Amino acid sequence: MTEHFDYDLMVIGAGSGGVRAARKSAEFGARVAVVEEAALGGTCVNVGCIPKKLYVYASEYAAAWREAQGFGWGAERITFDWATLRDNKTNEIARLNAIYQRLLEAPGVDIIEGHGVLAGPQEVVVGDSRYRAKKILLATGTWPAMPDIPGAELAITSNEIFDLPELPKRLLIIGGGYIATEFASIFAGLGTEVVQSYRGELFLRGFDRDIRLFLAEEMRKAGVDLRFDHHVTSITSSATGAVAATLSDGEEVFDAVLCATGRKPNIANLGLDHTAVTLNESGYLVVDEQFQTAEPSIYALGDMTGGWELTPVAIGEAMAFAQTQFGDTPSTMNYDNIPTAVFSQPPIGTVGLTEEEAEQRGHAVVVFESSFRPLKHTVSGSEERTLMKLVVDAETDRVLGAHMVGSDAGEICQGLGIALKMGATKADFDQTVGIHPTAAEEFVTMRVPRG
């Protein structure tokens, strides 16, 4: 007798990776269901990339308005209404949730609302219903990790920050990664007094050191109170409803404390103990290059497997998964030269190896670097500067890394990502005609190596 399966594929988690895997697999003809306990689109759409970028846009207007005066615009007082931003953001996300629903329904994916639990290698329970699937894909993402300090429960995370009832006047941000740094710039831009506390000597560990140093200087100029080698040892509630925090340098009162101290895989009550799925020492799911776990019928991808925790990476993995399993085209994800941006103000754009990584890997490197005041700011009055840096292999002339701090860094580095992926050499950069006048042209006009 043949075994009965309700689905060829059940996906748990309708975030960046889960939605793409479900859609593509269904387009290849598989019978697919996706289980989601919150809103369709996952972290990126609901409490990540999208609302974050909208808030970045919102926060840039105050500086733009100040700069506009140098170009002759009037200097009337401008006002900002937090509730308008928050509510317009919420409406836009509701629109995106509906688009995700249509994207799933069009190829025939069943959407099952609720918390998915593995009851065995080919069985998923959602509420009172039990489903059998030939293959199960886990794409449940990650969840904010809180630091082990007394009173941490009084702090908020990036999940709550978008929907605060009011704009905080004083905000303490703990952490020195992407999220902490992006929100420090966002809230400083919106007019909040921001203290960013980082435990190490320089934030954004893993990025090129010159880029980290340069951004720190620019963010301080923009008014962010960056404190490095700095610790928050406790948080208590204050009589006024605010939050008091004990810092390395004394006690201070804030309207809110944001913990942006990393994230951990979303595996609570997932039923992994009913399977042979294994975790690595950091708690991420272990998979092979086909995203297969130690349980042959169960696969996992996206943030919960660690590595590059970025939406385009989760999507790329999902495409490779669907093509391999249901599209008759065995595919793997290539993790080389993944471009990324930190949407700080000014932003970082980066692709390829940092100078430190290139040296650690044994490359003899030549570095080209240019730091300048962008044309716009010669008249705007802003003191903001831009840094661009190329890390080149001295023997092969291949560009190993391109890094930037400055306006539109993410937009510029996306294009450089193609060049690096194609193995461009410094000679190729030199032969490329610039677009004048832009900041980006500096990447093709740097001729003299750094001394």
Residues classed as catalytic: 436
Q: Which stretch binds ligand FAD (CB under 6 A): 90-98, 187-195, 275-283, 304-312?
A: 304-312
* 347 forms part of the interface with ligand FAD (CB under 6 A): no
Structure tokens at 257: 């404390």
* 140 forms part of the interface with ligand FAD (CB under 6 A): yes
- Which of residues 141, 327, 347, 374 is near ligand FAD by CB under 6 A? 141
- Which of residues 23, 52, 86, 89 is near ligand FAD by CB under 6 A? 52
Partner in contact with 350, chosen from ligand FAD, ligand NDP, none, beta carbon below 5 to 8 Å by kind: none
Backbone angles phi, psi at 7, to 5 degrees: -140, 155
Residue 104: CB partners within 8 Å, gap ≥ 6? 14, 19, 22, 23, 26, 34, 40, 111
For residues 215-253, one letter each, b for 16 or more C-beta atoms within 10 angstroms of the residue's C-beta and e for the rest, the string is bbebbeebebbbbeebebeebeeeeeebbbbbbeeeeee
Size of the site for ligand NDP (CB under 6 A): 23
* 156 forms part of the interface with ligand NDP (CB under 6 A): no
Q: Give dist(CA 83, CA 93) in Å, integer.
A: 15
* 410 forms part of the interface with ligand FAD (CB under 6 A): no
* 417 forms part of the interface with ligand FAD (CB under 6 A): no
| Closest listed residue to residue 302, CA positions, set 34, 44, 50, 9 | 44
- Beta strands 340-342 and 243-247 are unpaired
Cβ atoms 266, 91 nearer than 8 A: no
| Closest listed residue to residue 350, CA positions, set 185, 180, 206 | 206
Partner in contact with 35, chosen from ligand NDP, ligand FAD, none, beta carbon below 5 to 8 Å by kind: ligand FAD
**Residue position matching structure tokens 């291949």:** 398
Q: Give dist(CA 116, CA 131) in Å, integer.
A: 10
Show the CA angle centred on residue 111, arms to residues 107 and 116, nearest 5°: 135
Terminal-to-terminal C-alpha distance of the chain:
75
Could you tell me the smallest distance in angstroms from the CB atom of residue 188 to ligand FAD? 17
* 417 forms part of the interface with ligand NDP (CB under 6 A): no
The residues in 239-268 that bind ligand FAD, with binding defined as CB under 6 A, are 266
Could you tell me the smallest distance in angstroms from the CB atom of residue 80 to ligand NDP? 23
* 16 forms part of the interface with ligand FAD (CB under 6 A): yes
- Which of residues 123, 182, 210, 355 is near ligand NDP by CB under 6 A? 182
Show the CA angle centred on residue 283, arms to residues 280 and 287, nearest 5°: 50
Could you tell me the smallest distance in angstroms from the CB atom of residue 246 to ligand NDP? 14
Cβ atoms 303, 309 nearer than 8 A: yes
- Which of residues 5, 27, 31, 38 is near ligand FAD by CB under 6 A? 38
Could you tell me the smallest distance in angstroms from the CB atom of residue 286 to ligand FAD? 16
- Which of residues 12, 125, 260, 351 is near ligand NDP by CB under 6 A? 260
* 392 forms part of the interface with ligand FAD (CB under 6 A): no
- Which of residues 66, 132, 199, 421 is near ligand NDP by CB under 6 A? 199
* 216 forms part of the interface with ligand NDP (CB under 6 A): no
CA distances for 314 relative to 10, 89, 198, angstroms = 17, 24, 28
- Name the residue with the smallest CB distance to ligand FAD: 15
DSSP string, 59-84: HHHHHHHHHHGGGT---------HHH
- Which of residues 29, 114, 127, 200 is near ligand NDP by CB under 6 A? 200
Size of the site for ligand FAD (CB under 6 A): 34
* 342 forms part of the interface with ligand NDP (CB under 6 A): yes
Q: Give dist(CA 374, CA 17) in Å, integer.
A: 38
- Which of residues 116, 189, 327, 406 is near ligand FAD by CB under 6 A? 116
Give the nearer residue to ligand FAD in terms of CB position, either 302 or 369.
Answer: 302
Q: Which residues bind ligand NDP (CB under 6 A)?
A: 147, 174-180, 182, 198-200, 205, 260-263, 309-310, 340-343
